[in-house]
Structure formats: structure tokens, C-alpha cells
Structure 1
């Protein structure tokens, strides 16, 4: 069964490497064949002041080298607008290498992410490069979950989502600000080169991928704990869970997605003990949400999930995250047999009613981005509409209609854009982020496709029973990466599928774990393997193949591996089997045989 793009060794050498003497004026490029993350080591000849004039640059796409070299002349081109990202700039001089003794140096003494490395000798002395290797630092977990079917592109998409999550699972000590968690030495970042930080809303989809793929769930628990442990204990935002681990930035949606993430962690692992440890934190979250709600039961935001849209107030995406959080809190408190479960259930229903009342507009099934009629014209954002399907705000007929209209209005050959109609200053006022020039903010939102939302679109399609549509979404966004030689999901891409580099610089991130949750979707929806009780004490396995001829899947659980195989016979019927540990119970559909595996 297809697994991941994990390396077979923890020490990696560039393809075809041999010692070289780099003469003045020469440039050499090394290729690791696929993007890898780790500590880059090099053994060089004797150190020299000339190293100040020997440049290096690294990237996962060789088309970016011109932009990187421009950074030597104008550092703000790539990093100056983002002070926290300066540390991660992918260029410098050999004088920045840190000696480890015996002629061995480590690049910047920090974690590096690259496929290609160039060294450009602009000095008047030769440079002897004796050895070059990268120590792979991703969490040393085994990929024991799996998915395979008769469509090789879908198989590659599954492997890419898992590898993106793997390469973003790194030692916590390399986070922008060192984070030490109690359950693991590793955390899941969302941006292994640039961000090097935990983001609450981004962690949620990455956690689903990790829990369905890896043999050890403690990295999810550890990363969650690092967010939960910095909950505000006082002040105006008492009870809020910050959105980022290193800097404690506040995004209301990210608080809510962290609560959802905790529910899904407990559901998939059965770790009710950890839930009990967090009961008081959850009570504080409820108090914060209750304080922030208006008379309609909605929370007004400070910003949006895109961060740079000035959409203060009620936002459909935030309202849907709020609905998801109330649902999660209801389920979590129900496990604890806590009376707050009733209040949370009531608030979930109240939030649903308010969403439908305030973000619906005549003539379309789509929810508006802001309450209907609050701007010169209504705008529709993809996030709230997909989440309305996934969190059962839209009933089945409306869910189908939303997906149809998204396809008609948002789709491109590469994936779906984020907002319709696009932003225009004359219509929307000063909505761009002050740190970015206007043209950067316009480009970032109007002309780009986000794998984060593409993954949610695939999941929403599966959830609505449209397997073939979900697979097509995965094919479009997956092929856009794979055909350009990439095996990790990017933070975003241009509308035409090209690299996310604007005229204003900023290469953004080319390995972002937020985009990989469609891999989980293949196992949870196409194979149909989903828990009915915490820890998979009981589960369903009801494959939905769509146009696929056959599929195989494996999912790790606290009890052991669940295996499902299914195929469509000549009569069009689904036939197959579910093999699972004897200690758990399975619900499945017609044509599926249950095989209980003894310990």
C-alpha cells in the first residue's frame, strides 16, 4: 500500500555528490531530489575571511533562485515586511555557518528546509567542499495508516498530504520561540521553513491527517497542550486560547478550532483523561464565548482567517467556527457528564439559526461573507460555505446547491479561489493589512488558491455524499503541485497554478500542513472509517467509492489497525471486507464482510 515520501535514511546526501573545489566566480547547485527538512552539514577546507563573499541560497523550487538572490540587494524583498520571518530567510553568506569542529559546519545552526542548495563563490579564493549532508529531523514516527485505489493521482495526493504533515512535524526546540511540551519533543508546525510555529486553526486539519496516518498520537496532544497552556487567565480576553504558540497572537476563529481539535483528538484516541485535565480550561472558554456573544448569539471578530481583510464584526467564517466549537464543547462536556453540555447544545442551535438568518440572501444558496447587505454589494467567501456543509448548518438540498454554485463561481482549472466577487478598493475601502503594500494584499486574496480551503472543499463534497466531486477537487489541486515536481502542499498558489511569488517579493511557504487533510478524508469518507465512540470503541466502515473501481485503507486506533478493502463488481455493487481488532465493534453496509482479528 502506498505510504509516504519519507526518506529511507535519516542522513541524506545530494544526488550524485562528490567533493569539489569551487573556483572564484563559480556557482554550484546541489539537489536532494525532494524537499527535506533538517540540519544541513558541510565539511569545508580551512576557514577564511573570504567566506563573507561566498553566498548561499536554498529553496525547494529552482525557479525561486532569482528572487532569493535579489534578497542580497534588498533584504526587505523577502523578509523585511515580516520581522518574525527574518530568521528563516533562505540566503546568506558562508560566514553565517556555525562550526562544529573538525572542518564541519552547520548552516545557520538552525533547521533548514530545501531541495536545492546553491553556493556562489564571489571571493578571490577557491572553496573546497569535501562533504555535504542533511540530518533529517522530522518526527521519527511510522506511517501505519494508508490509502490506495485504482487512481494513481489520488494515491499521490494521499501520500503528499501525509508527507506535508510529516515534514512539518519537527523538534519543538526549533520553534520561533523555543517551546517545551510535556508529552513529546515534537510539535506540528504549519510552515516548516518560514513560520516554524503552531497555529491553532491550521493545526486542526493537520491533526486529522496525523491521527489517521502515524503510529503515535502524542505529537497532536503535545501541540494542543502548548496552545491550551497559554490560555489567558485574566484581562479583557480572559479564557481565550491564543492562535499561535510562539507569539500568542489572537484570532478568534483559531480559539474555536482548537476546541474542535481537542474534541477530535479525544474522539480518535479515547484519551478522556486528558479531557478531564482540561475541563476547567473549557469552562473558561465557554465563559469567554458567552461574554463575546451579541444579542443574536454571534461573536464579532477582530479580523478574518486570512488575517489581512479588514472584516471586523460578524463574519460567516467566524460564525461557522463558533457553531463547530459549540458542537465540540457539547460533546466534550457530555463525556464528562457536566451540566454545561446542555448550555453548549443550546448555543450551537442558536448559532445555527443566527447564521441562516443573517448571512442568507435571496437568489443564491451561498452564505454571504458579512451579514447580508452590510457592504455596497454582497460578497461570498468560500470558507463559511464549506463549513456550513461540514457542520450541518446547510441541510442536504442547500449543501448540494452550495457545492454547485461554488463550482460555477469559484472553480478554476487548479482549484477554487477564495472570494467572489474579488476585492476592489473603490468598493471595500481600506481593507488591506497595514504591513503589506496594497498590491500585495490584493494579489494575496484575489488571484490565489489556498490548499487549506481546497482540502475543506474535498471534505465538504465527501460529507455531502459527492465522492466524485471531492476526488476531482483533490486531483486539481494535487496535480498543480505534483506536475511542478513538488511533494508537499503549498500555503497558496497563483490562480494559474504557478509559484506564489508576487512582484512585491515574499515567496510564502511551499510546505504548509494546513493543506493535507484531504488525505484524512480519503480514509474517513471514501473508505468510510470513522469512530462512533471515543477511541474507536465502535466505528463505522461504509465505503463510498464514487467512480473508483476499488480501494484499500488502513487506520491506526488505540486497539490496533482497522483495514478496509472494497471494490465495485460488474453489477455495480460494492463488495469487500472490514478487518479489525476483536475488542471493538463495527457498523458497515451491505456487501461488506466483517472479519474480527484476534490479538
Structure 2
């Protein structure tokens, strides 16, 4: 979890009972700010389960293939009714090369491991001892409780040289994850691909919670702000447990990461925490830190910011929270064409940036900056800081104006990649759409351009592409992207190649060091809830909910949305006449509003006709809406 050095790490391995005491001492003694951290995860926060096989196939004498159905983080436990005084080979993995054969060289960071047991002792649960990965257990990675032992993500198991009859052997996938209510969040619809994508993403959120923090997958087991933000929103869509999000948010106060856009996610994460929980304490504690994380100190006279600024010096990096003042803070936009420290190269030079031209004044970075100014104005309002409300509002308006003056090509009606660039990428246009920067008069041209680029972004970028499309009522095209089955740049491709969790990239060829367990690939999960169904907190803590559905393309859909106030249950279907029908049940203590596409629809709300209204008031209990198109 933290930057633990040699001797301390050895001490921590001495006993399970001392693990958390020592971890807390290290944490609370090292940094003054960390005295305010949400408590570290306790063993009681986690769940351990013994999962039985879905399928056992005999592939040869003493050679068995076992499929547990889904990949989880864990290990295998065996229990035989008799001894075997000869070695047993156990193989675990995430990927197959053939129907009943685990890929022993899966590539990238797809996991595989082979273990030889010297013998089997009868009538005893034997935990298969796995070898720790050097990268995800080094200083800086999240440390797991000692009681977990070494765990890895896997779905499949092979046993070779088994001399005990299979019917006399019990085998389990022993899995670990954070406490999770499988029934809290649910979605189904008339689109079977959409349902499969939802299930893929939901399982990803559950299975990747094994660390008690939002981590980047199994390669590093380190939190990164952009990963964590998508993870946070998707977690909110399926459960009302907020401790991981709050703990991870506080982790970033002392452990920021180097991309400018990642730093600019910090305010976004703290804002969402408040909106979903209604608990303002983290905003109060870290308000001054959040102001620094907006990077407003890098502003030039016209209000735009640049990572090339002389102001991004060692002193400012220290203020940002970096322990090393030499940290190379720089723009990322999306994955570059390669990473020197990993040795991999992407299949195309464009990488996941759609040919983005990296300029000193960057359109993507300044779009994030605008959104930070907007959110800080909102946060200042919740904290009663009236002068700051005005201050940040004025900054937001200024940045918006300058972006649309200096980074927008009016002759083409689209945004360019940065100041001095003539190149226009998907990214330079989808982020302004996502953050509501695009003037109404140019939304049509921006959207038309965006739709020519397809999914020319990473699984991370897809979050903002989909956000932008729903912002401008392009739900039909957004649904096409989510349910795409012909392109390998799709969630369906992840399912088809055999993963039960979201991949780090659309396919291994787009990022050859990828893993198969990355929660930042779960954009559809939160997009379906927040944008397709349009269920979001209107006021902090869901005192009031806003429901603004954009369910075009679906014949029916059911959803359960967990909130801190209770579960929202909603149903939708098209009538025989093709008119939308909704049944929405709000929990006690929650009121809401339903946003219609326009005020011209004839509507019945609880059998009463409503005319010339775009916003309908919803009350506790069941609300029935019939909309005549």
C-alpha cells in the first residue's frame, strides 16, 4: 500500500495480528497529512469465499481441466479423501489457448502460474502456495493482509499427475474481495449484448476490490486518479459501500501521480464523493489541497494552463504532494504510442490519441481545467465560501471563453488539439462535449466530427466520449458504441476473447503489456446508470434524485440503483403504440424529478394528465409515468 522499505516490510510479515498495527503506525507517523486518512482496511472489510467448479473435464490420465466460471483474485484449495505420495502439478490462469488448455505464455500482464505440490495429505485443506509477483508487491504497491497469502487473478485450473480419483478430491477457487452486495445494483434490457457488457463490468468492480483501494489492476496494484475516478463512478452504480472511494481519495492527497489530467481528476473524485454520500468532511479537510490540485497556479494571463510553464517547478510539485520535486509532470491525453520504461510499442504510431498533436497549451488539459473551476465553485458554495464561489465561477467563465476563442476552428466548427495546432482529434472534441464547453451553435458540427472518429480512444477515453454523447442527446450512437460487436475496439471483444473482467485496453495489440482485470474499462456500468437511465443525485446524499432517461433503442429495461438513502427501482417499456411507460419507486426520504426530452409530450403521472412541463416531480414510493410521443 505505502512506500514501505526493507526492514519495515520484514517486520510487517512477522504476524497477522501485528500487520495492521504496524501499517497504521507507519502511515500515521510518516506524514502529517496522513493523520487525517480514512482508516486502513480491516480484515472484516473483506470477504473470502470458496467457489466450486462450474466444469471439470478429464483431458488425459490424471490430467484435469477445471473452469470456475469467472476470474477472481485468490488461489486454489484442495481436499482429498486419501494421500498421494507423488507430486501434483497445479496450473492457474486467466486465458486459454484451446478449449481445455490454459495458455502458459499468455503475454502482457495476463496471469499464469504453475505450482508443484510434493504430495497430497488426505483429509486436509491444502492451499496452493503461489509465488508473489515482484512488480505488484514492491514498495509503492498496495499491501494485502497477511491472511490472504499470495493471490492472483485466475479463472481456470489444471491438475496434472493426479493419482487420487477425481470423485475423491474436492477443489475450490478461494477468492477475496471487498464486502459487496450482489443484489444492490441490477440492470437488464431488451439488448442482450448490453446486458452482457453490464455483467462484465459489474463483476470487474466486485473482483478488483480485493485490495481495499481502487488499484490499476494486477500489474502494479497502485492507485491512479483517472482509474480510480471511473472505478468510483462504476462502484456507485452497483453498491452503496463508499469506504473504498473515500479511502482512495485520501490516498491521493499524499500520493499524486504524474499526468496533469490525472491530477485534475482529484477535485472530480472528491466532488462525487460528496454528492453520493452527503458527507462534507473530506471537502472541509482538503479544500486547500483541492485548490492546488486544480493547477490554477500554472495559469498564464489569459487563464489557460500549461504543463510547460516555468511555474511547474520543484516548489510547486512539492505543494502538489510529490515527494520527489523532480517528478516529470506532463500531459498524457490518452495512451502514447509507446512507453520507454515498459519496452512496448503500439501497433500504430497514433496510439490511443487519434493522432493528437501535443502542444504546450493543450485542449484536453484545459477542458479538464475548466471543469475543475466549475466544480470548485460548486464545492465553495456547499462550504459556504461565498467569495470563492464568485472567484471560481469567474475563472470558469473566463477559461470557457478563451478555449472557444483560441482552441476552436470556427471555419470547420471543431476544436483543434491545442494552441498553434491545425490538427483536430477525437479527444480535442469529446472532452469539450463531456464538460459542456461547446456553444449550442456549434454542437452539431462537433458531434458530426466526433461521429466520424468512432472509438478512436482508449477504454479510459471512452468514459468521456460517452459522457459527451449523452450531454448532447446522442444516446442512439452511444448505445451503438457500447454494444458494438464487429470491431475489436469494443467491450464485446473483451467478452469474446474470454475475459470475465474488463481489459486494460480494447485488445492486447493496442497495449501489449495490458492486463485482464482493469476497472477503468467499466465506463458502460456507470454510463448506463448515470446517463442512459439518467439517475444522479440532484442534491448531496441523494436527498433529491434527478432521473433523465435516454433509453432510445431499447424496448424495455429494468434497473436497481443503490443509494445512501436506499434502492431506487425503475422499469421501462414501450407500449403497443411505441410510447414510453415508466414505473419508478423511490425510497423513503427521497424526492425526485423526472426530466422529459421536451415539454410538448402529453404525460400522465400517476393517472393525472400533465401538460407543458419538462420537469415532473416524483415522490416517495411508486410513480407511474405514461408519455405519449
Regarding TM over 0.5, the answer is yes
Instruction: Pick the aligned partner of 1:188 from 184, 201, 214.
Output: 214
**Corresponding residue for residue 302 of structure 2:** 296
After TM superposition, give the deviation of residue 271 of structure 1 in Å: 1.2
**Corresponding residue for residue 519 of structure 2:** 513
Instruction: Pick the aligned partner of 2:74 from 35, 38, 47.
Output: 38
After TM superposition, give the deviation of residue 308 of structure 1 in Å: 3.4
The answer for unaligned runs of 5 or more in structure 2 is 1-46, 132-148, 308-329, 339-357, 485-489, 597-602, 607-617, 623-629
- Rounded to whole Å, the distance in 1 between the matches of 2:619 and 2:290 is 39
SS at match of 1:556: strand
**Corresponding residue for residue 327 of structure 2:** none
**Corresponding residue for residue 113 of structure 1:** 153
**Corresponding residue for residue 344 of structure 1:** 392
Residues 567-576 or 14-23, more deviating: 14-23
**Corresponding residue for residue 210 of structure 1:** 235
SS at match of 2:156: strand
- Does 2:505 correspond to 1:492? yes
- Rounded to whole Å, the distance in 2 between the matches of 1:207 and 1:535 is 15
- Rounded to whole Å, the distance in 2 between the matches of 1:308 and 1:220 is 28
- Rounded to whole Å, the distance in 1 between the matches of 2:419 and 2:204 is 36
- Rounded to whole Å, the distance in 1 between the matches of 2:150 and 2:159 is 18
Any idea what the Cα deviations from partners look like across 1:260-280, whole Å, max 9, x if unmatched? 111011112211123222223
**Corresponding residue for residue 597 of structure 1:** 621
After TM superposition, give the deviation of residue 514 of structure 1 in Å: 1.2
- Rounded to whole Å, the distance in 2 between the matches of 1:340 and 1:562 is 35
Any idea what the Cα deviations from partners look like across 1:526-578, whole Å, max 9, x if unmatched? 32222221111122223322132232222222222222223333444333233
Instruction: Pick the aligned partner of 2:380 from 311, 333, 338.
Output: 333
- Rounded to whole Å, the distance in 2 between the matches of 1:407 and 1:137 is 41
SS at match of 1:380: coil
**Corresponding residue for residue 531 of structure 2:** 525
- The residue correspondences of 1:175-254 to structure 2 (distance < 5 A) are 186-191=212-217, 193-228=218-253, 230=254, 242-243=256-257, 250-254=258-262
Instruction: Pick the aligned partner of 2:201 from 130, 144, 161.
Output: 161
- The alignment's C-alpha RMSD in Å is 3.7
- Does 2:496 correspond to 1:483? yes
Q: In the alignment, is the contact (CA less than 8 A) between 1:303 and 1:312 conserved in 2?
A: no
- Rounded to whole Å, the distance in 1 between the matches of 2:91 and 2:229 is 35
After TM superposition, give the deviation of residue 473 of structure 1 in Å: 1.1
Any idea what the Cα deviations from partners look like across 1:223-268, whole Å, max 9, x if unmatched? 112112x06xxxxxxxxxx13xxxxxx1111111121111011112
**Corresponding residue for residue 357 of structure 1:** 405
The answer for unaligned runs of 5 or more in structure 1 is 1-7, 72-76, 80-87, 173-185, 232-241, 244-249, 419-449, 495-499
**Corresponding residue for residue 144 of structure 2:** none
Identify if the C-alpha distance between structure 1 residues 271 and 22 changes in structure 2 by more than 3 Å, giving closer, same or farther.
farther
- Does 2:286 correspond to 1:278? yes
Bigger Rg, which one: 2
Identify if the C-alpha distance between structure 1 residues 584 and 515 changes in structure 2 by more than 3 Å, giving closer, same or farther.
same
- Does 2:445 correspond to 1:401? yes
- Rounded to whole Å, the distance in 1 between the matches of 2:105 and 2:237 is 41
Any idea what the Cα deviations from partners look like across 1:386-428, whole Å, max 9, x if unmatched? 22112111134533432322222x22xxxx123xxxxxxxxxx
Identify if the C-alpha distance between structure 1 residues 190 and 403 changes in structure 2 by more than 3 Å, giving closer, same or farther.
farther
